[in-house]
């Protein structure tokens, strides 16, 4: 047994323990749950960083708890899992910091923080599990946590949006369950290690890919992100549209399918085409959307489509670009959602036609939005630039001009979304009510979270050698060498 085999177990269990401790702390004194969950989030980040170091040093970390019917819990930490675990812990930190004064006691602050912790633990379970049945189990916890976070305000419209998102998630879950059952029948086990070469059943590939598209909010499951972006709290919308979509969508696609020989050429073309069309449609929807947060949700779906396209090329550059997207897009997208909350609170709603000129009263928020937007758009020196460079290189190596044109069109439309949003919200004539007193742009913890996200987005580009080198090693582990 490896010396650090306890790390993935701790990363899965610690957030759930933190959720229970949050309730216990509140029972003694309301407000004490916040230091508890912050300490838990910091501990998760430290453990994820330690796991990344251990894996980078070549340590093999695996735990298997046998159960009847081949349903044993198998947790493995390789390059891919350690990378995604650190990204998840990194994104949860600014979300938690932004939430510090976000939820009043009377609206269930303790429950909110506990659910945030449980969501982190469930995402870690999805990341480390190698058994499709357990992945399904943890994905269901993710769906329930997001649904509960969406009900924070408990209004009638909030319940409608939360239930729409849950219904779309349920469709994806049923498809994933169907794919799991087919794999079980074909191989006698739902363990991913039991799949050798191509999948026996076409229906298994179809069901699993459709399920991952649904979790990422791509067509025809875009209602999930539309509901998540419509009226949900910014923190819940950010996690639903960016982080959970990345983990339960593109990451799982890389985990299940980015193995040489597991997808035939016809499947690769079909997946790239479908993801490209989804990205095009989502970018187009974001361009005509007048609700700020819904536009960002559509943009998140377009970014997921780009990641799927790169991963499905099965070229070293394409897969590397897709994996780098899993670092840049969840983090920068989360920053955009958090900025949108401050802007919408200031304007009294999310209709961009009623905003404008907010740069004068929200200068720090506007600057953070610009930095995160530049990262998503792929402007140098941000990490998104290297994502796009690798994705284009990978698609060129794939040697399909039609798919290359689709990717180019999707990138062009995607690049137009954020300048439009920035202009409508922060530039032009001020259409908002009387500005607040000086120094009240937002509470300090919210501004600190924006500074954290913007700083990491910038560092991800300036220090791109380190994640790029790690991703190169990751591609070698996956066997992608073209």
- The pLDDT tens digits along the chain (482 residues) read 446 888 999 999 999 999 898 888 877 776 678 888 889 999 999 999 999 999 988 888 888 888 888 888 899 998 899 999 999 999 999 999 898 876 655 557 788 888 999 999 999 999 999 999 999 999 999 999 988 888 776 666 777 777 878 888 888 899 999 999 999 998 888 988 888 777 778 899 999 999 999 888 887 766 666 655 555 677 877 888 888 889 999 999 999 998 877 788 889 999 999 999 999 999 998 899 888 888 998 899 899 999 999 999 888 888 989 998 998 999 999 999 999 988 888 887 778 888 888 888 889 999 999 999 999 998 888 888 888 899 999 898 888 899 999 999 999 998 999 999 999 999 877 665 555 445 467 788 889 999 999 999 988 888 877 777 788 877 877 776 55
What is the value of pTM for the model shown? Answer: 0.92
Neighbours of 177 (CB within 10 A): 17
CB contact at 8 A, 128 and 81: yes
Distance CA 102, CA 357 (A): 25
CB contact at 8 A, 336 and 91: no
- Farthest-apart Cα atoms in the chain, separation: 66
CB contact at 8 A, 469 and 344: no
CB contact at 8 A, 63 and 111: no
* Per-residue CA distances from 121 to 20, 41, 338 (Å): 12, 10, 22
* Cβ contacts of 327 within 8 Å, gap of 6 or more: 83, 87, 383, 460, 467
- The crossing angle, in degrees rounded to 10, of helices 316-347 and 401-426 is 20
- The crossing angle, in degrees rounded to 10, of helices 292-312 and 316-347 is 170
* Residue 226: both structure tokens together: 């539309």
| 311-323 per-residue burial string, b: 16 or more CB within 10 A, e: under 16 | bbbbbbbbbbbbb
CB contact at 8 A, 87 and 327: yes
């Amino acid at each position: 047994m490896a010396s650090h085999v306890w790390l993935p177990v701790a990363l899965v269990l610690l957030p759930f323990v933190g959720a229970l401790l949050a309730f216990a702390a509140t029972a003694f004194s309301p407000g004490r749950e916040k230091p508890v969950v912050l300490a838990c989030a910091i501990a998760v980040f430290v453990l994820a960083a330690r796991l990344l170091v251990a894996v980078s040093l070549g340590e093999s970390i695996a735990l298997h708890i046998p159960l009847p019917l081949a349903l044993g819990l198998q947790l493995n930490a390789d390059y891919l899992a350690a990378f995604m675990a650190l990204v998840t812990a990194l994104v949860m930190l600014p979300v938690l910091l932004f939430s510090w004064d976000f939820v009043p006691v009377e609206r269930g602050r303790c429950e909110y923080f506990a659910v945030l912790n449980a969501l982190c633990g469930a995402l870690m379970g999805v990341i480390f599990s190698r058994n499709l049945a357990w992945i399904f189990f943890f994905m269901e916890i993710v769906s329930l946590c997001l649904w509960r976070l969406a009900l924070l305000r408990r209004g009638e419209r909030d319940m409608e949006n939360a239930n729409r998102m849950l219904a779309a998630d349920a469709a994806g879950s049923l498809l994933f369950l169907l794919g799991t059952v087919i794999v079980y029948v074909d191989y006698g086990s739902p363990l991913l290690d039991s799949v050798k070469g191509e999948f026996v059943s076409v229906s298994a590939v179809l069901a699993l890919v459709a399920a991952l598209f649904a979790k990422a909010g791509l067509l025809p499951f875009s209602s999930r992100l539309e509901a998540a972006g419509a009226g949900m709290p910014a923190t819940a919308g950010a996690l639903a549209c960016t982080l959970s979509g990345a983990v339960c969508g593109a990451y799982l696609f890389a985990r299940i399918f980015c193995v040489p020989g597991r997808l035939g050429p016809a499947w690769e073309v079909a997946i790239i085409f479908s993801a490209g069309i989804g990205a095009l449609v989502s970018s187009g929807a974001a361009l005509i959307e007048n609700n700020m947060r819904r536009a960002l949700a559509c943009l998140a779906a377009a970014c997921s489509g780009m990641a799927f396209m790169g991963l499905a090329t099965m070229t070293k550059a394409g897969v590397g670009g897709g994996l780098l997207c899993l670092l840049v897009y969840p983090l920068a997208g989360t920053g955009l959602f958090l900025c949108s909350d401050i802007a919408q609170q200031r304007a009294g709603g999310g209709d961009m036609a009623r905003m404008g000129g907010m740069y004068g009263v929200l200068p720090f928020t506007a600057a953070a939005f610009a930095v995160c937007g530049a990262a998503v758009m792929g402007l140098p020196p941000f990490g998104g630039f290297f994502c796009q460079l690798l994705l284009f290189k990978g698609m060129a190596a794939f040697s399909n001009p039609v798919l290359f044109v689709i990717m180019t069109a999707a990138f062009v439309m995607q690049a137009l979304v954020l300048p439009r949003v920035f202009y409508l919200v922060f530039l032009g004539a001020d259409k908002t009510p009387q500005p607040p007193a000086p120094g009240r742009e937002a509470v300090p913890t919210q501004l600190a979270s924006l500074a954290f996200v913007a700083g990491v987005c910038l560092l991800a580009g300036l220090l791109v050698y380190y994640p790029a080198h790690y991703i190169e090693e990751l591609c070698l582990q996956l066997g992608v060498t073209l």
